Amino acid sequence: MKPIDEQFKIIQRGTDEIINPDALKAKLKENRPLIIKAGFDPSAPDIHLGHTVLLRKLKHFQDLGHQVFFLIGDFTGRIGDPSGKSKVRKQLTAEEVAENAKTYKKQIFKILDEKKTKVVFNSHWCVKLGEEGLFDLASRYTVARMLERDDFLNRYKNNVPISILEFLYPLLQGYDSVVMEADVELGGTDQKFNLLVGRALQKNFGSDPKTIPAYLGKSIDTFRKDTAAPARKTYNFDSQIIITMPILEGVDGVEKMSKSLNNYIGINESPDNMFGKIMSISDNLMWRYYELLTDADHLMLKENVAKGKIHPKTVKTDLAKLIVSEYHGKDKAEEACSKFDAVFAKKENPEDMPGFFIDKEKIGIVDLVKEVGFAPSSSEARRLVEQMAVSVNEEKITDVKMEISLDKKGKILKVGKRKFGRIFRA
Amino acid sequence: MKPIDEQFKIIQRGTDEIINPDALKAKLKENRPLIIKAGFDPSAPDIHLGHTVLLRKLKHFQDLGHQVFFLIGDFTGRIGDPSGKSKVRKQLTAEEVAENAKTYKKQIFKILDEKKTKVVFNSHWCVKLGEEGLFDLASRYTVARMLERDDFLNRYKNNVPISILEFLYPLLQGYDSVVMEADVELGGTDQKFNLLVGRALQKNFGSDPKTIPAYLGKSIDTFRKDTAAPARKTYNFDSQIIITMPILEGVDGVEKMSKSLNNYIGINESPDNMFGKIMSISDNLMWRYYELLTDADHLMLKENVAKGKIHPKTVKTDLAKLIVSEYHGKDKAEEACSKFDAVFAKKENPEDMPGFFIDKEKIGIVDLVKEVGFAPSSSEARRLVEQMAVSVNEEKITDVKMEISLDKKGKILKVGKRKFGRIFRA
């Protein structure tokens, strides 16, 4: 394993907070593969670059020789994580959760090393809880500590309902840390409270085998069996280190990247779309993407741009190539780059206009607006056309049934005042 | 069935609150046996007169032709009711709960008509909840409404821990009302919040068969099977009427009657002890006992005492006879009365001194003080002797090992300045 300071530097990059750094160093000094936990909500299985911030940090740990557990919260998912939510959430059915979990697994190994990743499902051990376990767990945490969480407190103070169920989520999520004997747990900054509950619960249970309740013993056995870990009689509930990662902004540079806000870059998107979207981001956002989505020395690059040694456009092109390479390979990235250059080199239209490649001869205007992400839904796209907010090659489209024929030259789609895109036949 | 106004008058006697009286009258007008629910915590199975306030009200309903369900909360008892408690409670084991429930059943039929009472255990249906049901239930009530409860709010404000588990108790207890389709629920004033949760949950579930979740359907089936009720496809979740009964003061007239405060009259106590203890209460308390522990016309009696038509001592003697008769029969009550008179008629010592009959030749002073309830524990009794607060026949006792020989004539035991008793060999 690498020297501790070197490991620490890699781990620290891009993090929002480490609680606490000294304890992490002490754990690293033990010179053993640490148990790294990251939990994923199975209700949002479409992975975009925003999710990869965390996945890439897991990859760092993995590359450093630590044991990464990709935890699919299929049990907790039945409740739904209330973090940052302002209302009571709809519960998923067991079937929905199972389906989502499958989709998740398909995507993560584009970033993580499949051979070095253990994928676990918390339903495996949480079903051992029973009422007895749920009651015991609920007795180990107080209402006051739960209400210390910012969003809970705000909702309570503003009379926005918090269901009792939402108090159970952090407990179950923390219980996973106890069962997994996690050394480190990673999450987004919005997960900090949940991660701290895990830390507190580990302390609460203690590690004296005599005080381990039966349901916990059974849960640990299940987890060890799932991961083919040897059965032991000792437990390691040393409080886990917490690492929070920033929430990545979407291509608009304002809101967090999210599918519902249509400002995302999906990891399954075509090289051309991915490339075009990255080229469309602001220079400021470019540095953030560099730090959180690549391992390149962004500080040195930034210095060189500041000194005028490199043009920011070159740096952005390199970023787009780096990211596209990660998901599609170097060749596809170079190809996307050439295509992008060919299209944009000679055009006078809004700079950084993204290009969209559509594999059809013709497409209805409503479908087109939705397809490129300029409207979140068909009904919204229809509304925009009806309001005369949509034009193709500077001609207003008013007929929602209008078909647009696509070609290799490209047509300029404009929606509202700020959304531009060049549409090509793929 | 009796006319509604007559029924209502009987029901109303001694109640603290009815929520609400008009709805109760409307239910009575339906002219069917109402489903009357009262839940009992299996952790406190030693029944004293304090408990009988509620049991006697159940008896009234029973006598009026309504169906009383004596609900033993053996499932909720595993959690422990937080009502009025200032700390997190220890959880009972399933075995302890079962043992306590048995003891309970042995006692209640001294008051209730066994043939007309259906004893039910909520574990029967609550085990059908599973995690799914618990989560669903927890999603139906908010943290804010839970914190509206006085004692929760006080504890929250004063930083006294409330465990999340304590939020689950009222929900489960309210769930029983849904399952039982209760028309009326009775409880002590300290139970008001819990009873209201049941009322709210019934409303929340609605009675549309389509919205009844599977676990609730199963729970209702279990309940109906337990009570040999016919299966039906309709549900009656009309909000239950809530009736709270006052908490009875102990013989000291100050604190609530409770075993741990040693100011109680157990329903299993000997006629002589019961009689003596009742004769020791204040005149004020006597009226309260009349109202809550008998069906006598206490208002008329009070008027007659006020007018000087009857001596209060006579009224108190009648009260003692009434209560002792209820648990031991008329003959035993008369016998206890004669004994009491024989002992006290000629004595000059503090009036209303209780008599204690002990079936031993000799007894150690510490045991004696504890036995008659003048000290809550042996160590406290020992401390009192050491502090020279104990005398027998006006002689101070200072030796904690002193043995007192008992006789039929009686000896006067005095502890501190206010506790007197006459001790006889039984």
pLDDT at site B85 = 54
Contacts of B138 in chain A (CB under 8 A): 163-165, 167-168
Report the C-alpha gap between A396 and A392 in whole angstroms.
7
Check: CB of residue B49 under 8 Å from CB of residue B267. yes
What is the radius of gyration, based on Cα positions, of chain A? Answer: 24
Q: Kindly determine whether residue B142 and residue A164, on different chains, have CB atoms separated by under 8 Å.
A: yes
* A172 shares contact with chain B (CB less than 8 Å): no
Check: CB of residue B272 under 8 Å from CB of residue B57. no
Pick from A91, A134, A143: CB nearest B156: A143
Q: What is the ipTM of this complex?
A: 0.73
* B132 shares contact with chain A (CB less than 8 Å): yes
Pick from A88, A127, A167: CB nearest B167: A167
Q: Kindly determine whether residue B136 and residue A167, on different chains, have CB atoms separated by under 8 Å.
A: no
pLDDT at site B138 = 92
Three-state DSSP class for A39?
A: strand
- Read off the pLDDT of residues A58-108 as tens digits, 9 standing for 90 and up: 999 999 999 999 998 888 877 766 665 544 455 567 777 778 778 888 899
Q: Which residue of A122, A135, A154 is the best one to mutate when testing the B interface, meaning the one whose CB has the most B CBs within 10 A?
A: A135
pLDDT band at A352 (very low <50, low <70, confident <90, very high): low
Report the C-alpha gap between A340 and B171 in whole angstroms.
61
3-state helix, strand, coil in chain B (%, to 5): 50, 15, 35
Pick from A75, A129, A171: CB nearest B164: A171
Q: Which residue of A85, A142, A171 is the best one to mutate when testing the B interface, meaning the one whose CB has the most B CBs within 10 A?
A: A142
> How many angstroms separate the CA of residue B186 from the nearest CA in chain A?
25
Q: What pTM did the predictor assign?
A: 0.76
Contacts of B144 in chain A (CB under 8 A): 156, 159, 161-162
* B147 shares contact with chain A (CB less than 8 Å): yes
Contacts of A146 in chain B (CB under 8 A): 164
From first CA to last CA, the distance across chain A in angstroms is 47
Pick from B127, B134, B162: CB nearest A144: B162
Portion of chain A with pLDDT greater than 90, in percent: 58
AA identity, residue A385: V
Pick from B138, B152, B156: CB nearest A164: B138
Closest residue on chain A to B163 (Cα): A142
* A159 shares contact with chain B (CB less than 8 Å): yes
* A109 shares contact with chain B (CB less than 8 Å): no
Residue whose tokens read 């394993």? A1
Nearest to A175 by CA among A251, A98, A83, A75: A75
* A200 shares contact with chain B (CB less than 8 Å): no
- Read off the pLDDT of residues A266-322 as tens digits, 9 standing for 90 and up: 999 999 999 999 998 988 999 999 999 999 999 999 999 999 899 988 999 999 999
pLDDT at site B259 = 82
pLDDT 10s digit of each residue in chain B, 426 long?
Answer: 899 999 999 999 999 999 999 999 999 999 999 999 999 887 766 789 999 999 999 999 999 999 999 998 888 877 766 665 544 445 567 787 778 778 888 899 999 999 999 989 998 999 899 888 899 899 899 999 999 988 899 999 999 889 999 999 999 999 999 999 999 999 999 999 999 999 999 999 987 777 888 899 999 999 999 998 888 778 888 899 999 999 999 998 888 998 878 889 999 999 999 999 999 898 899 999 999 999 999 999 999 999 989 998 899 999 999 999 999 999 999 999 998 887 766 554 555 678 888 888 899 999 999 988 888 889 989 999 998 899 998 888 989 999 999 988 889 899 887 788 889 887
Contacts of A171 in chain B (CB under 8 A): 164
Closest residue on chain B to A135 (Cα): B165
Q: Kindly determine whether residue B131 and residue A132, on different chains, have CB atoms separated by under 8 Å.
A: no
Report the C-alpha gap between B142 and B152 in whole angstroms.
14
